[in-house]
Structure formats: structure tokens, C-alpha cells
Structure 1
């Protein structure tokens, strides 16, 4: 029988009480599962800060070890009465922290760290979580083993910081490594290059780790436990009475994640869509029934009554604009710019062109670098460069958007009624999403207006 892969994130590991819920969830499956775990809440950010400080302060190694060692000690003692077992777990965590400390001391001595070393350091948060959770599960009668990616053969393409799993090299060995009749606890977020180096799977990449492992073992499902009620029709911090989305396709989930929904990492669906392994979303603070997911992502295509299933937004994008008479019609300009951005390892999310303007949508964190590399193209490109940062990208997602007339008209009418200007828009790049740019100060009103138009006249019992 196929196993279930279960993902617990940092939001599931915030406090002592959360561990009790995790224990109960694992018991409720009533069979061995494969668990993928993130770092404790806030630990990855702490390690990033430690990496930077270690370049200038040799005391950081000791401080980091002490902080991480004591972080969950009280939680261990609360959930494990056997002092000998507590000592054993802390000893194993201590060994990991000794390794981490030596790495940070090396950075302090040299004042620098390679990308390979940075990846190796940042993976320790997940390693510690896995050892911690394995010990607690064993104490509660759930036979469990830690399975580090390096020991199960989770091989990547070797790209530091944002690697992808090599399924040709990984699948057979991972499947064999996880074939035992007990619970495996795997640290997410990283894999191993073919030459044995730690490579991170992108920030927030534990979801992708879990999806990759689910594919390798042919899992019955990937179950992701969150601290929210699955996919919703809108951000509950912004819209009134968002509607729960019970069923989505892989593409719908991917687009929602890409444009800002925080339920999944955008790459989570990549490994699962071809083998049709469903993703099931649960709330760790809700009813812990493993048979009743709040949202299911699968190949099943359902067109909702209002076409749009959810409206989401992201403040993470900005525009590199090239302005000038006829720039949109001059051959070679876009090719030069995209080549320069590729060499700088900057991803282009979208390009919108006109006769007098080329607008390149990229992540805000890359805008300054993008401006710099395009500025020094030789020979210089025609046109004036401009950075636009104060924008929000808003996306309406749902199967049927491209095939049904009037959807875009309803969106623009809702925005016009609220006197919200649309700076740019794009439909057709994907058959299931229409997105547009507004000023960041209009973001909340825009999301509210579209949600009201498509959802707030729908009866509360309507299924999406």
C-alpha cells in the first residue's frame, strides 16, 4: 500500500502545545507515514542573520549554538518524561550544532562564505527539527527514524540556493530507502548535488521537498498541515467572509501560489501533476481528521459558477521600464536586455511591450541589480531606464477565464466603480489567470472590490 507524505511547516512548530497536535495527527493516520519537516518558526531567518554576522564577529558561532540548543529544550522536557531520552536527543542535536559552530567559526576566520557553504549552514534548521520530532514521536510509541536527504539519495541538479530534484537519479534509491514499516522524519529544504554538496531547494522549499519525495515513493497523497483553512477565495485579512475552495487543479494552485497565496510554495505542484498525486490541505488548529482535507489539489477540473475561484496579490514584484520613441519596434533591444538579466541570474516574470515602452516584471529584490546590468550594456540600448517599485500585482485565478466572455469586464468595472486605476494588465499568458498592476496604496481596495463582485453575492454554502 502506498504511503502518505505528511508535511509540517514552521507554523506548526511555534509553541509547546503545537507539538501535541503534531503527535495526534501522526497517530490519526493509523499507519506509518513519511514526514517532511521545516525548521522551527523563525530559525531560518536567525541562521541567515548568523551567517552575515559571522563574517565580522567570531563570537557568533558560540551564541548561535547556545540559542539553538536551548530553543526547544523546555518543549522536549514537557513531552518526554524519560530524562535519559531527553539527554540522548539533546546529545544528537548538540553534535549537529558542533558541526554548525565549526562552519560559522570558519566563516569568521575568512570573512566570507561560498554559496556552497551558505547552503550547508542554512540547512541545519531542518536537520535539528527532524531529530527533535523523531525523538518525541518515539517517546509517544510511534516508531520513527530520521532520514536525512544525504542518506536517502535525494539528488539535485547542483544549483546552489534554488536547486531542483533530479528524479532520474533519485527515485529508485529514495523509494528503497523509505520502504521500511515505520515513520520516517525527513528534514526538508535541501538535497544533495551529485558530488555530495548540500543544495537548498529555494526559500520555503520544504513544500517542494515533500512533493519531490512524494513523487519518488509514489505516495497516495501529499498532506500539508497549515495554520489556515486551506485555499480561500481571498485573503481573510482583507476580505469579508472568504469562501473555502474545496477543489483546485494543479495549475490553479500553482498560479495562486505564484501570485502571492501563502498556502503552497509555487514549485510544489511541479513533481506531482504528471503522476497525478493529490495535495491535501489541513489546518493543524482545526479538526485533526486526516480523512477530511479542507482543500484538495488534483487533476480534476471544476469550473466554478463565477469562473474565478480566488483573487490574490503580491507586493514582491516591480517593473524595469525602458522608455523611448519606437523602443518597442526596434529589433534586438529585448534580446540584449533579457540576455543581460540571464547572465545576472535574474528571473523575468513577464514582459509587456508597446511602441514607446518595454515593461519587464521582475522581483523587487532584483530591481537594483537589473537596472545596473542593463545600464552597462555595450553598445547602449536606446531608451531611458526607469524603476517602478510602488506597485502590487493582483491576480484572478480560475478555470474558464479564457473561455468565458465578460470576466475581464466585470473585474475592470469593479475597479472603476471604486476609482482604482489599472496601470497594466495581462490576460492569455495562462488560460486560468488574469493579472493586473495597481498602485500599492490601492491594493487592499482592489482586492476587496473584485472579491465583492465575484463572491459576496454567492450563497455561503456554494462550493468552489
Structure 2
């Protein structure tokens, strides 16, 4: 029977302990149909690999740094052996899988050893090393599924032709090059397990899709094969009206438009990578968010993301926030009017590989919003580059961003026209110190920058206004 496949994504939050593999296998059996599984590294593995690379770079050529990376690969071998013993009962199959895992770990060890001797970490080597967390997960999961009588096999991005644009560290999928080969390679029955997080350049080198990029990998594969849906398994009940760790009694969101999900993710919601909807937006492939901790509910999605637009009674569907933001400010009496200044700034930041989140301008100041980790490099790039009209460059990383998201937020024809001002008023009434407020960059979102110490206070005040006892 020729049916569309479902792409199923399991993230690192699903893979914390050896017994979690058993839970994932149970979910796969519940589908009882051909699937493409996209898996992340086990929880914490990618961060540990990043630390290994950083340690190797700092201590290149030293015995201690070399021993540190060797100790880490030994701990990985022990972890994988523990997972195998918990999940594969047959000794012969367990030995076969362990040998395959050790061969892959040997490759990782050679990469780590190599950077000690050359004293540098080329971009292509960095991406190759960081992809090994996913490569180990996919091999392990495919073999565990086989041991349970499921027709499963592993397929690496380099084997299926998942081609990227070749940008190391933050690549995008080249759909013109990928769609045909990926659809052909992933055809047929059974369960195919693909490691997420990376594709390959046209030259065959691994290129990462950015941190959290396994969601994007899964969405790209779903587009290439024309999937029925992309099912993302989490350990929470889908999208909520706010972070349950920051506000009391957040409400579930059963349905979101692609744009709403993208903005919520961009402004700090941890459910999806912000780029997940990119490949699916014009294909109409829905994203379904399911909770792996509630197996009794079967394949029940808590949130469905698709092209259906719905304006709720009070417009706002969720309040999201992030403290991964900072402001680079250019001062001068005419910077907002003088032509060419913004172009020079963006060019200087682009040459340094720094992404701009947003830009807010006034007559005497240009505010550039960046990731907090990029602020110092951005300051050096701009302050050291004389720009006529700019008399001072300052920086501020003591801020957080808070956004209200919902279809109709900026629709002047209905209640949406007042949403941004209501959110700002609620924050100010709650004693929040607001630095900047903006609306108009997105048709479904408005946001403000607040003192970082007031982030939770702002979330609670705004959430109460739209959803709680203080609802107007």
C-alpha cells in the first residue's frame, strides 16, 4: 500500500536515561506503519562535545587536554554500553551493535586527537565532531528497534542526499538538490532512522543546521518526502499560553498557525526550533506536538500547527519571553535620519558573522537587537569601524524580551489594534521596568524589552491581563 509517511522527531529531552529508549520504541510500535524517525543526541551529549572541542582548542598539543578528550570518549562508550544492556537482550545482537558503536566512537576519537596535533579546529571538523551525538543515537535506536522485531534501518544524511547550502554551523537545506534523492532513499516500508542536526554540503562535508537544528532536519525531510505530518514528541503538553515555570495556570493551545508557532519559538518558547516551520509553510504539512510522558493517550496531539488562521476572542494566544537578547546602541544627533548608517552597521556585523534579531530607530539612536553572546563581538566590530554621524556606541545585556503572539495582534480593524498597548500597560502597572516596545515587524506579534530582573514579573502581569483573574 502506497501511503504518505509520517516523520517522527524525538529530541534530547526524550533521551535522558537508558530506559528512555524503551519508551521511544513503544511509541514507534503504537504507530504500526512506515515511518521516518529523526533523532537528536542523548541529553547533554552535544554540550559535552562542544566543551571537548573548546578544551582541545585551548590546550592544543598538551597531554592533559588530550587525556580529557580520551576520557570523554571512554565515558561515551560506557554510557552506550549501559543503554545496550538495558535495551537489547540477545547477547549476539548486543555485541554486534556495540562493535558498530565503537567503530563510530573510534572515528570521533580520531577527530578529537587530530585537532590536538594541528592546534586548530577547522569549521568542517567542528561540524563533523558535533554531529556524532546524533550519529550514535540513530545507530543505537535502529538496532534496538530491530531487536524488537521491527523492520528498521539507519540512514545517514550523507547516504540519503540531504544536501545543505554548505554554510558551516548554521546551514539551510538545499531543497532543489535534496528532494528527489531524499524521497527515493526514504521510500518503501519499515522504519528508517535518520540522525538530525546536520546535512552535507555538495562536497560531502557535514554542515550543522544550528543548535536545536534536529527539528529543522525533520521538517526538511518531511518536505522532501511530502509527509502526512511532522510529529514532534516532547515531555510537555504542547504549546501553552506561557511558560509553566514562570506563570501560574497557563492554558493549553490546541491550534496555531505556522506564523504564530514561528514567532513563539523565536521569542523564547522551547517547544520548537524557530526555523522548523520554514520548510513546511508553503507545503501545508501540519506539525503535531505530542507528549511522550502520557503513553495512555496514544497518538493524541496537544497542539496542531498548520495553515488554518484563527483569531480568538481576545486575540493573544500566548506570552513568550527570552533573556538571550542584548542591545547595541548607536548614538548621534542625526543617526536616524542620515542615509547609509544602518547599511554600514549591518555590513560590519555581517562580516563578523553576527545575526541581527531586530532594529529599532529614532532620530538620535539606532537600537540593534542581538543574541547576548554576540554583544561583545558586535561592539568591537562597530566601535572599531568609524561611522560618520555616530558619536558613541553603547551596549546593554541586562534586558529580556517579552512578546504577545496571536493572529490579529496588529489588525487595526478589530480588538487587535489595542493589544500592544494593553500588554505594555499591564506590564507598567505591574511595576515592570520597560526599556523599549515595538509592534509592526510581524503581523502576529508585538514585543517589549524589559529589565532582565523583571522578566518573570512581566510575563505574569501580561498573562494575568489576557488569561487570568486580571483579564480585561
Query: How does the TM-score come out when normalised to structure 2?
Result: 0.95
Q: Distance in 2 between matches of 1:431 and 1:447?
A: 21
259 and 379 in structure 1: CA distance in 2 versus 1, 3 angstrom threshold? closer
1:346-380, CA deviations, whole angstroms, 9 ceiling, x for partnerless residues? 11111111111111111111111111111122465
Larger displacement relative to structure 2 (62-71 or 145-154): 62-71
Matched, 1:44 2:46: yes
Cα distance, 1:297 vs structure 2: 0.3
Q: Report the secondary structure of 1:158's partner residue.
A: coil
Matched, 1:235 2:243: yes
Q: Provide the aligned C-alpha RMSD in A.
A: 1.4
- Aligned 8 A contact 1:157 1:165 in 2: yes
What residue is the counterpart of 2:145 in the other structure? Answer: 137
What residue is the counterpart of 1:35 in the other structure? Answer: 37
What residue is the counterpart of 1:329 in the other structure? Answer: 337
Cα distance, 1:288 vs structure 2: 5.0
Cα distance, 1:410 vs structure 2: 1.8
2:422 to 410, 416, 423: 410
- Spell out the pairing of 1:236-275 with structure 2 (5 A cutoff): 236-275=244-283
Cα distance, 1:60 vs structure 2: 3.4
1:379-401, CA deviations, whole angstroms, 9 ceiling, x for partnerless residues? 65522110011000000000011
- Spell out the pairing of 1:239-388 with structure 2 (5 A cutoff): 239-287=247-295, 289-378=297-386, 381-388=389-396
- Aligned 8 A contact 1:352 1:359 in 2: yes
Q: Report the secondary structure of 2:446's partner residue.
A: strand
- Aligned 8 A contact 1:58 1:109 in 2: no
- Aligned 8 A contact 1:89 1:135 in 2: yes
- Aligned 8 A contact 1:225 1:283 in 2: yes
Q: Distance in 1 between matches of 2:41 and 2:152?
A: 18
Q: Distance in 2 between matches of 1:286 and 1:458?
A: 32
Q: Distance in 1 between matches of 2:286 and 2:18?
A: 31
281 and 384 in structure 1: CA distance in 2 versus 1, 3 angstrom threshold? same
Cα distance, 1:408 vs structure 2: 2.1
2:14 to 5, 12, 16: 12
Q: Distance in 2 between matches of 1:72 and 1:295?
A: 33
Identify unmatched segments of 5+ residues in structure 1.
460-464
What residue is the counterpart of 1:75 in the other structure? Answer: 83
398 and 379 in structure 1: CA distance in 2 versus 1, 3 angstrom threshold? closer
What residue is the counterpart of 2:62 in the other structure? Answer: none
34 and 289 in structure 1: CA distance in 2 versus 1, 3 angstrom threshold? farther
- Aligned 8 A contact 1:327 1:383 in 2: no
Cα distance, 1:300 vs structure 2: 0.7
1:201 to 197, 206, 209: 209
Identify unmatched segments of 5+ residues in structure 2.
60-64
Q: Distance in 2 between matches of 1:285 and 1:278?
A: 22
1:113-138, CA deviations, whole angstroms, 9 ceiling, x for partnerless residues? 10010000110110000011111111
What residue is the counterpart of 1:110 in the other structure? Answer: 118
What residue is the counterpart of 2:169 in the other structure? Answer: 161
